[in-house]
């Protein structure tokens, strides 16, 4: 078993290597990496719910969307957030994501399992409907263009500078969420995931715990949205559409729910296939589909389950078949 | 399998490594093309690419003497992805220009990229009105070879009025292209004395018009429809089945050649307007239609014609520039100086970089055309409005003073 410190060191080393290599590999790669990292924040927020609290949210795009629309509307209509006030927009984006989650959470957290999934889906579609139909504010189907990125001493119009900014947000988000899930509060979330009834009997207000987790995830979703709006300079209902939520969910499952690194790896793989491989070959969709199917068939714990699968295989050599089956049973 | 995987891995590693350093030879014209090859608009995307490719194939892969490197990227039907792909084309492939984009939102998303990257973007299908109208100042490297949504519906409004129609109900897809098409029709129709008495907006992609058809007012002379994609097939079928006997007229996409082969005989006699019909009876168009059909097995839609013409336009412009791409500003000037004889008829750019072109009022007929031996549905041209500009007869200043056509503009004065 690798100790926790070594794992952290590995992740940190990977991040440093990533931050060093990407800016040296061509502007398109920088752009893609920037987009993937902004989206990875959203994926990690989904993981907070799915992986740690056991809530499969299908409406995470709503918080992502309000963050993105807030940024775009402020910039396009009020020229706000293009200088130092960018940081204010970041704060507002987090707050609006959290506030919307606080509102939606009142409806959604009451339900569990499939019903939670359906309610979040419906609420997410409400957000999409607003984006699509509230023409005067959102520009409807045409969306909103942001003509420039913020500039405050640092010129974010420079791809590499912007990459480092998003990288910083991404790394800080990851650390914050890591601290969160390792905290007593995070442990109680895991407890709720494993057996909610027992937690209730132990005296935990599980509704409140879930509600708070939901709001925090919404806040991170809003942050991801703010950054996302600036990656391509274009926000449209497509940003809030159901597939954005589903994508985030699939990325988490692909990488391995219940590990923040897994959510990130899942995001990287999906972006790599969908936005990079698609520029090279026409059959990228088969690859993406194949990866999903193989993961679900053979790696129910996602790609992050590979090391433990390997360990089990090594350990089970020489042991009976029965214990092997028991050991690989997915949780 | 492993071999293939290795190749992919090797390929991606190489591409990653070489991404930064790959500018190509000097006399080469690099064209980046955005179209959908996956997602719900994949078929339209294929028509678009086929049109452009056919012109290239006919001319040995050269435009105006320059060797063309034609790179197609899939936007997956999403405006956001189209931006990523356009940036890939500009930053990595160092293309001279971006062409394509289907949806109006795609046009709106790509135009700012052209400004930010100082790269020419030619919208060869996307028809969002405002890009060549009130917003043009923001996009100095943008031009269009297709049409604005309201360009063909202005003459149709005039035509409908001249037929003696007094009261019309409009039913149009609930998004920007729908608003602009319906708006243009309503404006011209009412300025001539007609009355639009009801406007219905089913969502884009509606499959069942059952809830909308009974609400159509009874005492009318015609229905104006603006359908897109599969909606086009469903609406006339259901409206006729409901017992409606009066004329149906429509925007171009309600009856374009993309949908027409899949329609039934119930659409015979329906009238629509567009800047192209595959049934334009000119030698230039006949040659184009026959060559296209022989090559791709279908009658070309306006998506194909627009892109074929775009390639033809580029050919002439590069030739005029001496076989070399002279940079976006100079190139746009050259494009504006060219008067082209395309399959759709004569085209040239106005000073807002949108085509001035013929608009054809077309009636669906079942007949034999161009020597094909089967009876098929064709959009027979019954009237041609020559050299129509995006401002119709209103004049540029007066037209630009009003807001862009929207769900609520022009207001429905005669709605009951």
State residue B22's pLDDT score.
Answer: 40
Instruction: Please report the pLDDT score of residue A61 as a whole number.
Output: 92
A205-260, pLDDT tens digit by residue?
889 999 999 999 999 999 999 999 998 888 988 889 888 898 898 899 888 888 88
Burial (Cβ within 10 Å: 0-12, 13-18, ≥19) of residue B368: exposed
> In which residue are the tokens 């003073």 written?
B401
Residue B18 to residue B21: CA distance in whole angstroms: 5
Q: Answer for the pair A100, A62: CB distance below 8 angstroms, yes or no.
A: yes
Q: How far is A207 from chain B (nearest CA, A)?
A: 37
Tokens of A109: 């957290």
- pLDDT at residue B79 in the model: 87
Residues of A in contact with B105 (CB under 8 A): 141-143, 236, 238
What is the spatial distance between Cα A278 and Cα B74, in angstroms, rounded to a whole number? 7
Q: Determine which of A21, A22, A24, A26 to mutate to test the interface with B (most B C-beta atoms within 10 Å).
A: A26
Among A122-126, A183-187, A306-310, where is mean pLDDT lowest? Answer: A306-310
Element (H, E) at B74: strand B66-74
Place of tokens 């924040």: A41
- Cβ–Cβ < 8 Å for B385, B162: no
Which one is predicted more confidently, B195 or B176? B195
| Contact at CB, B79 and A282, closer than 8 angstroms | no
Taking any CB pair shorter than 8 Å as contact, residues of chain B touching chain A are 8, 11-12, 15-17, 19-20, 37-38, 73-74, 76, 78-81, 83-85, 87-88, 91-92, 104-105, 108-109, 111-113, 115-116, 128, 138, 175-176, 204, 406-407
When computed from its CA atoms, the radius of gyration of chain A, rounded to whole angstroms, is: 20
Measured in whole angstroms, how far is the alpha carbon of residue B24 from the centre of its chain? 32
Structure tokens at B11: 């390929």
| For chain B, percent of residues with pLDDT exceeding 90 | 75
Nearest-CB residue to A234 (from B11, B12, B83): B83
Beta bridge partners of B286: none
Q: Which residues does chain A have within 8 Å of residue B33's beta carbon, measured at their own beta carbons?
A: none
Nearest to B298 by CA among B260, B332, B334, B333: B260
Residue B335 exposed, middle or buried by CB count within 10 Å (0-12, 13-18, 19+): buried
Tokens coding A202:
């132990």
The beta-carbon neighbor of B92 closest among A28, A145, A281 is: A28
* Alpha-carbon span B68 to B150, nearest angstrom: 33
Cα dihedral sign, A125-A126-A129-A135? negative
For residue A56, give the nearest of A66, A46, A65 by alpha carbon: A46
Per-residue tokens: A260: 């923040």
Alpha helices in chain A, H assignment, sequence order? 4-21, 27-47, 61-78, 86-108, 113-133, 135-138, 159-182, 184-194, 196-201, 206-232, 237-240, 242-255, 260-271, 284-298, 306-316, 321-327
b/e for B65-85, b at 16 or more Cβ within 10 A? ebebbbbbbbbbbbbbbbbbb
Size of interface A-B (CB pairs under 8 A): 100
Q: Say how far apart CA A129 and CA A8 lie, in whole Å.
A: 41
Query: Residue A239: which of B80, B92, B108 has the nearest Cβ?
Result: B80
For residue A218, give the nearest of A108, A107, A102, A120 by alpha carbon.
A102
Provide the shortest C-alpha distance from residue A328 to chain B (in Å): 27
CB B239 within 8 A of CB B267: no
Q: What is the mean pLDDT of residues B253-271?
A: 92
> B327-337, pLDDT tens digit by residue?
999 999 999 99
With CA atoms as reference, the chain A residue closest to B110 would be: A234
**H-helix or E-strand containing B212?**
none
Please give the residue of chain A at the shortest CA–CA distance from B72: A279
Euclidean distance between CA atoms B299 and B280, whole angstroms: 12
* Contact (CB<8Å) B105/A277: no
Structure tokens at B247: 């004329």
- Give contacts of A26 with chain B, Cβ < 8 Å: 16, 19-20, 91-92
Q: How far is A34 from chain B (nearest CA, A)?
A: 11
Return the bridge partners of B33, or none: B72, B99
How deeply is B135 buried, as exposed, middle or buried, from its count of CB atoms within 10 A (0-12, 13-18, 19+)? middle
Confidence of residue A3 (pLDDT cuts 50, 70, 90): confident
Termini Cα distance of chain A: 19
Q: How far does the CA of residue A239 sit from the closest CA of chain B (Å)?
A: 8
Query: Where does the pLDDT of residue B169 fall: very low under 50, low under 70, confident under 90, or very high at 90 and above?
Result: very high
When CB atoms are compared, the residue of B12, B76, B115 closest to A280 is B12
Give the pair of three-digit tokens for residue A8: 């952290």
Concatenate the DSSP letters of all residues of B170-203 into one string: EEE-SSHHHHHHHHHHHHHHHHTT-EEEEEE-PP
Task: State how far the Cα of B53 lies from the Cα of B58, in Å rounded to an integer.
Answer: 9
CA distance B253 to B177: 10
Question: Which tokens is A179 given?
Answer: 């601290």
Question: Closest Cα of chain A to B301: distance in Å?
Answer: 24
Cβ-defined contacts of B11-16 (< 8 Å, 24+) = B11/A280, B12/A276, B12/A277, B12/A280, B15/A280, B16/A25, B16/A26, B16/A29
Tokens of A232: 């391509």
pLDDT of residue A82 exceeding 60: yes
Query: Other CB atoms closer than 10 Å to residue B411's CB: what's the count?
Result: 10
Q: Which of B15, B45, B103, B135 is best to mutate for the A interface (most A CBs within 10 A)? A: B15
What's the pLDDT at B1? Answer: 42
pLDDT attached to residue B23: 43
d(CA B232, CA A323): 61
SS3 B373: coil
Domains detected in chain B: 22-148+284-349 (3.40.50.2300), 153-274+359-401 (3.40.50.2300)
Tokens encoding B14: 């190489």
Provide CB contacts within 8 A for B122, sequence distance 6+: B97, B98, B99, B143, B144, B145, B310
Partners of residue B67 on adjacent β-strands: B28, B62
The model's pLDDT over B27-40, given as tens digits with 9 standing for 90+, comes to: 789 999 999 988 88
CA dist A97 and A119 (Å) reads: 17
Q: Distance between CA atoms of B372 and A233, rounded to whole angstroms?
A: 49
Residue B8, pLDDT > 70, answer: no
- Are residues B76 and A26, on separate chains, in Cβ contact within 8 Å? no
Chain segment B36-62, per-residue pLDDT in tens: 988 888 888 999 999 999 999 999 999
Of A28, A31, A142, the CB nearest to B105: A142
* Spatial distance between the Cα atoms of A240 and A235, rounded to a whole number of angstroms: 9
Q: Chain A closest CA to B187's CA: distance in Å?
A: 21
B94: left (phi over 0), alpha (psi -120 to 50) or beta: left
Give the separation between CA A89 and CA A93, rounded to whole angstroms: 6
Closest CA–CA distance from residue A218 to any residue of chain B (Å): 22
Distance (Å, rounded) from C-alpha B119 to C-alpha A151?
22
Instruction: Kindly indicate the confidence band of residue A70, based on its pLDDT and cuts at 50, 70 and 90.
Output: very high
Rounded distance between C-alpha atoms, residue B410 and residue B304, angstroms: 32
| Secondary structure, 3-state, A268-299 | HHHHHHHHHHHHCCCCHHHHHHHHHHHHHHHC
Least confident of A72-76, A131-135, B287-291: A131-135
Return the residue of A nearest to B107 by Cα: A142
Supply B46's token pair. Answer: 């294929």
Interchain CB distance below 8 Å, A141 and B105: yes
Minimal CA separation from A106 to chain B, in Å: 30
Q: Which residues of A touch B (CB under 8 A)?
A: 24-29, 31-32, 35, 135, 140-143, 145-148, 232-234, 236, 238-239, 274-282, 285
Chain A residues touching residue B38 (CB < 8 angstroms): 285
CA distance A302 to chain B (A): 21
Assign B209 to helix, strand or coil. coil
Contacts of residue B109, defined as CB under 8 A and 6 or more positions apart, other chains included, come to A143, A145, A232, A234, A236, B79, B80, B82, B83
Residues of A in contact with B88 (CB under 8 A): 28, 31, 279
Residue from the list B19, B112, B128 with its beta carbon closest to the beta carbon of A29: B19
Q: Identify which of A320, A309, A106, A288 has the alpha carbon closest to the alpha carbon of residue A208.
A: A106
Task: Give the whole-angstrom CA distance, residue A86 versus residue B377.
Answer: 57
CB contact under 8 A, A135 and B406: yes
Alpha carbon of A300: minimum distance to chain B alpha carbons (Å): 23
Q: How far apart are CA B204 and CA A155, in angstroms?
A: 40
CB-based contact A35 B84, cutoff 8 Å: yes
Mutate to test the interface with A, among B40, B45, B88 (most CBs of A within 10 A): B88
Chain-chain contact of B20 with A25 (C-beta, under 8 angstroms): yes
- How far is Cα A153 from Cα A173, in angstroms, rounded to an integer? 24
Among left, alpha and beta (phi > 0; psi -120 to 50; other), residue B78 is beta
**Predicted local distance difference test score (pLDDT) of residue A113:** 79
- Interface contact A31-B87, CB threshold 8 A: yes
pLDDT (tens digit per residue) in A146-193: 888 888 888 888 888 999 999 999 999 999 999 999 999 999 999 989
Partner-chain contact A145 B78, CB within 8 Å: no
User: Per-residue pLDDT for B3 more than 70?
Assistant: no
Distance, in angstroms, between A194 CA and closest chain B CA? Answer: 38
Taking residue A327's Cβ as centre, other Cβ atoms within 10 Å add up to 15
């Amino acid at each position: 078993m690798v100790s926790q410190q070594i794992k952290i060191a590995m992740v940190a080393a990977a991040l440093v290597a990533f931050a060093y290599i990407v800016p040296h590999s061509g502007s398109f790669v920088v752009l893609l990496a920037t987009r993937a990292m902004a989206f990875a924040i959203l994926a990690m927020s989904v993981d907070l719910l799915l992986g740690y609290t056991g809530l499969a949210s299908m409406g995470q795009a709503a918080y992502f969307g309000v963050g993105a629309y807030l940024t775009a509307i402020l910039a396009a209509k009020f020229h706000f957030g293009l200088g130092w006030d960018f940081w204010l927009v970041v704060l507002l984006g987090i707050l609006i994501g959290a506030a919307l989650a606080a509102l939606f959470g009142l409806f959604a957290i009451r339900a569990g399992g499939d019903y939670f999934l359906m309610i979040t889906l419906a609420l997410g579609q409400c957000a999409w409907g607003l984006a699509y139909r509230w023409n005067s504010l959102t520009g409807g189907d045409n969306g909103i263009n942001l003509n420039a990125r913020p500039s405050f001493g640092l010129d974010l119009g420079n791809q590499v500078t912007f990459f480092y900014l998003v990288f910083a947000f991404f790394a800080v988000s990851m650390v914050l969420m890591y601290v969160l899930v390792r905290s007593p509060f995070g442990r109680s979330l895991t407890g709720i995931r494993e057996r909610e009834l027992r937690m209730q009997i132990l005296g935990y207000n599980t509704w409140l715990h879930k509600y708070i987790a939901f709001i925090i995830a919404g806040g991170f979703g809003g942050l991801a949205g703010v950054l996302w709006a600036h990656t391509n300079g274009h926000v449209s209902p497509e940003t809030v559409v159901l597939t954005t939520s589903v994508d985030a969910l699939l990325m988490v499952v692909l990488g391995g729910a219940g590990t923040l690194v897994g959510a990130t790896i899942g995001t990287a793989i999906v972006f790599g296939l969908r936005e990079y491989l698609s520029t090279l070959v026409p059959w990228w969709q088969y690859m993406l589909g194949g990866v999903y199917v193989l993961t679900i068939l053979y790696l129910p714990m996602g790609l992050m389950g590979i090391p433990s699968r390997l360990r089990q295989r090594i350990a089970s050599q020489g042991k009976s078949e029965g214990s092997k089956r028991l050991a690989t049973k997915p949780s | 399998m492993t071999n293939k995987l290795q190749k992919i891995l090797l390929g991606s590693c190489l591409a990653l490594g070489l991404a930064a350093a790959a500018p190509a030879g000097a006399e080469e014209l690099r064209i980046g093309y955005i179209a959908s090859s996956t997602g719900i608009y994949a078929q339209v995307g294929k028509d678009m690419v086929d049109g452009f490719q056919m012109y290239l194939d006919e001319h040995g892969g050269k435009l105006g003497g320059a060797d063309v490197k034609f790179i197609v990227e899939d936007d997956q039907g999403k405006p956001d992805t189209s931006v990523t792909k356009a940036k890939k084309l500009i930053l990595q492939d160092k293309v001279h220009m971006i062409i394509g984009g289907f949806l109006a939102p795609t046009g709106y998303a790509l135009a700012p990229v052209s400004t930010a990257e100082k790269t020419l973007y030619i919208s060869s299908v996307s028809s969002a009105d405002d890009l060549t109208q009130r917003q043009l100042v923001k996009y100095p490297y943008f031009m269009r070879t297709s049409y604005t949504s309201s360009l063909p519906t202005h003459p149709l409004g005039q035509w409908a009025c001249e037929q003696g129609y007094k009261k019309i109900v409009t039913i149009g897809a609930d998004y920007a292209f729908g608003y602009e098409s319906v708006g243009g029709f309503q404006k011209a129709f009412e300025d001539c004395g007609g009355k639009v008495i009801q406007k219905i907006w089913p969502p884009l992609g509606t499959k069942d018009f059952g809830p909308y058809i009974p609400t159509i007012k009874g005492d009318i002379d015609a229905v104006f429809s603006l359908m897109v994609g599969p909606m086009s097939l469903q609406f006339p079928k259901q409206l006729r089945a409901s017992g409606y006997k009066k004329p149906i007229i429509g925007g171009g996409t309600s009856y374009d050649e993309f949908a027409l082969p899949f329609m039934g005989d119930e659409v015979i006699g329906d009238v629509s307007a567009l800047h192209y019909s595959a049934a334009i009876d000119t030698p230039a168009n006949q040659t184009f239609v026959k060559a296209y059909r022989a090559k791709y097995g279908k009658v070309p839609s306006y998506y194909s014609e627009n892109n074929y013409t775009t390639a033809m336009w580029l050919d002439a412009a590069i030739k005029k520039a001496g076989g070399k791409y002279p940079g976006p500003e100079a190139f746009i000037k050259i494009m504006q100086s060219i008067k082209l004889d395309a399959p759709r008829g004569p085209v040239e750019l106005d000073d807002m970089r949108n085509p001035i072109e013929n608009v054809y009022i077309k009636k669906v007929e079942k007949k034999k055309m161009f020597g094909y031996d089967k009876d098929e549905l064709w959009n027979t041209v019954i009237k041609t409005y020559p050299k129509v500009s995006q401002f119709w007869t209103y004049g540029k200043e007066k037209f630009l003073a009003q807001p862009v056509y929207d769900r609520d503009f022009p207001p429905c004065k005669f709605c009951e």
